[in-house]
């Protein structure tokens, strides 16, 4: 038999037929798979949205209910013309852990300076609390004493200066100056100091100001606060488990405290590599909490997952059976596929290299090469965007301008490598202390700037400034030797009609005022 040009043509025709069969089978299989999977994904998305919504609503509802109960207690206490221990016992008699799951204690707190401690102690001893012994924190001029308490865990904390706890002190301050419910950040409760570390839970405190004269002609007078301590896990775990129907894992965190976990439930085995994770932010008691909901294998099983894989498998088998019918051309098919793979790999490599170069150019254009922070150009862009965005909303933002105190001495005495090490470490600490949506930039030298967006009021930037000052002054290890710097911080809050230059000028002036006032502190710009 003579082999001529027809043989190569037939081989090419057979190869084309094989490719056509494979492509047709793949297209049909992929279409069927995508259709079935889309239906599965829609159903799973709906289930996750519903469960995440129920979980978030349960948290909000429970906090609201506890807050209303505490507010009622504050009104009842404020209505007493001459509050006594017996009055407090009567007012709180109907409360227990059945009605308030997770509650550790309910108390009445009064403020006093150190010089008033003895008089306050005598006053409340005469009103039915003869064993009260106030315990002022040494070195503090102002105290917040727990005078009357209904403990749900049989730990008597009466007389404690609760203001020694920064989260509690901040919640008391917020409640008094806003005249409404405030919730503290997550913290290890003072009353749990004797509990084994593995059994200790994150706690929060609900605080409501108490005023006398409410509903009467007499002027309102601030008397103190009603406090409700809650152990996070006991407070919310059962509700999270029930609202998640045992098919999702839930974590409630306080992003303001480096993601401290308030409560979490983890039934079943978490499904990895899924887009079904849901994250919600909620505002309760003038504080922002973050809820994350993960699906489990049990949830995926109940949403008919697997039909898409069965469809894909059936289509693949059919495609292979059709391909076997022209198996004599398998070698040609393999060579063609290898060529496609090589071409695809080369294309991907080229794209990867191009993307890498573009990313490097982007990084160099908008970021400081030493610290990796945003540079002045990117900061101005985000500041301009923040001004435009917040002009349309009911929230504000603030700019913090930071200058390192003592940096020049380190740079001069220990060399530029030491100064660079200080700048890099300060940059890391600033990123750690800020929210993911905040912007921190290096302006040059030892100056940094921060944009805090979405603030609820003009004083909401103060806690961040305090954390910045605290974290910067921690010793920095350089070649085994500590280096110390501090931060002078200027705060400028956005106002209608100001532009980027105005707010930066105000923050810079406030920073210099902080330096003039003794450094290692913050000063707020005056309008």
On whether the CB atoms of residues 108 and 91 are closer than 8 A, the answer is no
User: Can you tell me the distance from the alpha carbon of 472 to that of 451, in angstroms, rounded to the nearest whole number?
Assistant: 17
User: Can you tell me the distance from the alpha carbon of 52 to that of 244, in angstroms, rounded to the nearest whole number?
Assistant: 7
pLDDT surpasses 60 at 29: yes
Task: Give residue 22's pLDDT band: very low, low, confident or very high (50, 70, 90).
Answer: confident
Residue spans of the domains in the chain: they are 65-232, 376-524
| Torsions phi, psi for 62 (to 5 deg) | -70, -45
Spatial CA neighbour of 253 closest among 322, 303, 204: 204
- Low-confidence winner among 240-254, 329-343, 372-386 (lowest mean pLDDT): 329-343
At the fourth CATH level, the homologous superfamily of domain 376-524 is Reverse transcriptase/Diguanylate cyclase domain (3.30.70.270)
Task: Give residue 322's pLDDT band: very low, low, confident or very high (50, 70, 90).
Answer: confident
Q: What is the mean pLDDT of residues 222-244?
A: 86
Place of tokens 């605080």: 207
Digit-coded pLDDT (tens) for 147-167 = 999 998 878 899 999 999 999
Q: Which two tokens stand for residue 303?
A: 């949403």
Burial class (CB in 10 A: 0-12, 13-18, 19+), 494: buried
Torsion (CA) 35, 38, 42, 47 in degrees, nearest 10: 110
Whole-number pLDDT of residue 337: 59
Q: What is the mean pLDDT of residues 290-300?
A: 88
User: Can you tell me the distance from the alpha carbon of 26 to that of 16, in angstroms, rounded to the nearest whole number?
Assistant: 15
What is the percent of the chain with per-residue pLDDT over 70, rounded to a whole number?
A: 86
- Low-confidence winner among 7-21, 159-173, 196-210 (lowest mean pLDDT): 7-21
Spatial CA neighbour of 109 closest among 176, 202, 199: 176
Whole-number pLDDT of residue 2: 43
Q: What is the mean pLDDT of residues 442-463?
A: 93
* Beta strands 486-493 and 521-524, pairing class: parallel
At the fourth CATH level, the homologous superfamily of domain 65-232 is CHASE domain (3.30.450.350)
Cα four-point dihedral sign 315, 319, 320, 321: positive
Spatial CA neighbour of 496 closest among 367, 407, 387: 387
User: Can you tell me the distance from the alpha carbon of 464 to that of 446, in angstroms, rounded to the nearest whole number?
Assistant: 19
Digit-coded pLDDT (tens) for 305-319 = 566 677 778 878 887
Cα separations (Å) of 355 from 305, 351, 360, 503? Answer: 35, 6, 9, 36
More confident residue, 391 or 340: 391
Digit-coded pLDDT (tens) for 185-206 = 988 876 666 666 676 788 899 9
Q: Which two tokens stand for residue 479?
A: 């070649």
Whole-number pLDDT of residue 298: 85
Task: Give residue 20's pLDDT band: very low, low, confident or very high (50, 70, 90).
Answer: confident
pLDDT surpasses 90 at 297: no
Cα separations (Å) of 441 from 197, 233, 302? Answer: 38, 37, 48
CB-based contacts of 493, cutoff 8 Å, min separation 6: 396, 397, 398, 455, 458, 461, 524, 525
Digit-coded pLDDT (tens) for 505-519 = 999 999 999 999 999
pLDDT surpasses 70 at 138: yes
More confident residue, 74 or 40: 74
User: Can you tell me the distance from the alpha carbon of 8 to that of 330, in angstroms, rounded to the nearest whole number?
Assistant: 15
- Mean pLDDT is highest, among 16-25, 108-117, 181-190, for 108-117
Whole-number pLDDT of residue 236: 79
3-state DSSP helix/strand/coil % of the chain, to nearest 5: 50, 25, 25
On whether the CB atoms of residues 465 and 491 are closer than 8 A, the answer is yes
- Mean pLDDT is highest, among 248-252, 259-263, 301-305, 502-506, for 502-506
Q: What is the mean pLDDT of residues 416-439?
A: 94
Whole-number pLDDT of residue 1: 46
Spatial CA neighbour of 101 closest among 152, 136, 148: 152
On whether the CB atoms of residues 8 and 326 are closer than 8 A, the answer is no
Whole-number pLDDT of residue 247: 85
pLDDT surpasses 60 at 119: yes
More confident residue, 199 or 263: 263
Chain-wide mean pLDDT for the chain? 86
User: Can you tell me the distance from the alpha carbon of 350 to that of 361, in angstroms, rounded to the nearest whole number?
Assistant: 17
Cα separations (Å) of 520 from 49, 237, 420, 470, 513? Answer: 47, 41, 21, 9, 11
- Low-confidence winner among 24-33, 349-358, 463-472 (lowest mean pLDDT): 349-358
Whole-number pLDDT of residue 364: 60
Whole-number pLDDT of residue 290: 93
Cα separations (Å) of 391 from 170, 330, 396, 449? Answer: 29, 66, 8, 21
Task: Give residue 39's pLDDT band: very low, low, confident or very high (50, 70, 90).
Answer: confident
Whole-number pLDDT of residue 202: 86
Cα four-point dihedral sign 475, 476, 477, 482: negative
Whole-number pLDDT of residue 360: 54
Cα separations (Å) of 19 from 23, 328, 383? Answer: 6, 13, 56
Spatial CA neighbour of 459 closest among 396, 375, 502: 396
Q: What is the mean pLDDT of residues 319-331?
A: 70
More confident residue, 30 or 146: 146
* DSSP at 457: S
């Amino acid at each position: 038999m003579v082999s001529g040009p027809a043989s190569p043509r037939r081989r090419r025709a057979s190869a084309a037929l094989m490719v056509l069969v494979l492509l047709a089978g793949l297209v049909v299989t992929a279409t069927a798979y995508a259709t079935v999977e889309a239906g599965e994904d829609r159903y799973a998305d709906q289930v996750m949205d519903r469960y995440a919504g129920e979980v978030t609503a349960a948290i909000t509802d429970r906090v609201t209910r506890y807050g209303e109960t505490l507010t009622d207690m504050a009104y009842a206490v404020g209505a007493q013309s001459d509050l006594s221990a017996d009055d407090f016992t009567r007012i709180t008699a109907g409360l227990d852990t059945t009605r308030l799951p997770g509650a550790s204690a309910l108390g009445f707190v009064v403020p006093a300076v150190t010089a008033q401690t003895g008089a306050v102690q005598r006053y409340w001893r005469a009103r039915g609390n003869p064993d009260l012994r106030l315990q002022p924190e040494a070195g503090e001029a102002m105290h917040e004493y727990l005078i009357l308490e209904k403990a749900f865990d049989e730990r008597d904390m009466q007389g404690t200066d609760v203001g020694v706890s920064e989260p509690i002190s901040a919640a008391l301050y917020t409640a008094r100056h806003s005249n409404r419910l405030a919730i503290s950040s997550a913290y290890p409760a003072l009353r749990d100091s004797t509990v084994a570390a593995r059994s200790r839970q994150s706690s929060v405190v609900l605080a409501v100001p108490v005023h006398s004269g409410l509903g009467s002609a007499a002027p309102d007078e601030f008397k103190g606060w009603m406090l409700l301590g809650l152990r996070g896990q006991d407070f919310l775990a059962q509700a999270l488990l029930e609202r998640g129907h045992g098919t999702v894992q839930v974590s409630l965190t306080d992003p303001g405290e480096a993601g401290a976990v308030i409560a979490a439930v983890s039934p079943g085995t978490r499904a990895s590599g899924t887009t079904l994770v849901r994250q919600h932010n909620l505002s309760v008691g003038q504080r922002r909490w973050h809820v994350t909901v993960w699906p489990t294998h049990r949830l995926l099983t109940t949403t008919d997952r697997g039909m898409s894989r069965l469809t894909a498998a059936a289509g693949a088998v059919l495609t292979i059976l059709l391909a076997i019918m022209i198996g004599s051309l398998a070698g040609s098919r393999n060579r063609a596929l290898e060529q496609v793979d090589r071409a695809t790999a080369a294309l991907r490599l080229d794209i990867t290299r191009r993307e890498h170069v573009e990313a490097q150019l982007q990084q160099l254009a908008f970021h400081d090469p030493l610290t990796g922070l945003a540079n002045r150009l990117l900061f101005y862009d985000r500041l301009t965007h923040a001004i435009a965005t917040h002009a349309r909303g009911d929230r504000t933002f603030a700019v913090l301008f930071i200058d390192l105190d003592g940096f020049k001495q380190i740079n001069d005495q220990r060399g530029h490598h030491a100064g660079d090490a200080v700048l890099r470490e300060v940059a890391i600490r600033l990123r750690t202390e800020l929210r993911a949506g905040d912007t921190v930039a290096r302006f040059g030298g030892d100056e940094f700037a921060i944009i805090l967006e979405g603030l609820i009021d003009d004083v909401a930037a103060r806690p961040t400034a305090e954390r910045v000052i605290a974290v910067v002054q921690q010793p920095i290890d350089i070649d085994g030797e500590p280096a110390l710097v501090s931060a002078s911080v200027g705060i400028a809050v956005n106002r209608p009609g100001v532009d980027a230059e105005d707010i930066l000028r105000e923050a810079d002036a406030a920073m210099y005022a902080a330096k003039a006032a003794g450094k290692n502190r913050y000063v707020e710009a005056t309008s």
